[in-house]
Amino acid sequence: MSRAWSQRAEPQTVHTLPRTPYAELDAASLSRKLKAAAPQAAAELWERYSVRVRALIRRTLGACDEVDDLVQDVFVAAFKDVHRLRDDHALQGFVLGIATHVLRSALRQRGRRKMVELSEADHPTTSPNPEAQRALRRLQALLETLSPDLRLVFVLRHVEQLELTQVAEAMKWSLATTKRRLARARGLVFERAQRDALLCAFLAEGDEP
């Protein structure tokens, strides 16, 4: 799946953190401050990663009542367990790994698979093409049929645009397992898309160089 599909599903502005002093703070420095329980360290962690964590949860679960509580759960766990982080430079992966664990639990507890609908209200699009919007909604419905792990690995890689090594770290899998399950998720998406001419054309266009 190319970056073109990701840009359609999630405009680049969604990924941009607010311009605050915290956004420029070195992750390793912040990690050390958290471990030392330095004043304002918790606020800095929130400012640095809360936008991305919230977006990941919304993209996976949808705009549900659980989002705020789950975001809080992620940061409570991060503050509590940061002392376990061995590589201070890996703070982002540590936070996203906790978010992934929280999402897995939420998906399994809910017993249903619900993907966020990227409505114009939540995610403004640069393309008013109604056909593309219909195809995107059908793709999202298809993603609802994936298992929690396959959906998460797909979202982390193709929506969040994480590197494979970062996806593996977040999912706590080996790189080989990550590649295998991502291939499985992609395969299922494309296999099931074959039943829908509009969606098939949409995905084929997204895979063009």
pLDDT band for position 142 (cuts 50, 70, 90): confident
Q: What integer is the mean pLDDT of 180-194?
A: 92
d(CA 23, CA 83): 22
Cβ 185 vs Cβ 159: under 8 Å: no
Burial class (CB in 10 A: 0-12, 13-18, 19+), 186: middle
**Domain region containing 13:** 3-206
Q: What integer is the mean pLDDT of 88-99?
A: 93
pLDDT band for position 18 (cuts 50, 70, 90): very low
Is the pLDDT assigned to residue 125 strictly greater than 60? Answer: no
pTM: 0.69
pLDDT band for position 25 (cuts 50, 70, 90): low
Q: What is the pLDDT of residue 207?
A: 58
d(CA 40, CA 62): 31
- Of the listed ranges 15-29, 46-60, 110-124, 154-168, the one predicted with least confidence: 110-124
Check which CATH number belongs to the domain holding 116 and give it: 1.10.1740.10
Q: What is the pLDDT of residue 159?
A: 76
Tens of pLDDT, residues 40-51:
999 999 999 999
Question: Considering only CA atoms, which of 156, 160, 145 is closest in space to residue 191?
Answer: 145
Q: What is the pLDDT of residue 32?
A: 93
Q: What is the pLDDT of residue 70?
A: 96
Cβ 118 vs Cβ 62: under 8 Å: no
Q: What integer is the mean pLDDT of 164-175?
A: 93
d(CA 138, CA 181): 22
Q: What is the pLDDT of residue 74?
A: 97
Q: What integer is the mean pLDDT of 33-42?
A: 93
Number of folded domains that form the chain: 1
Q: What is the pLDDT of residue 160?
A: 83
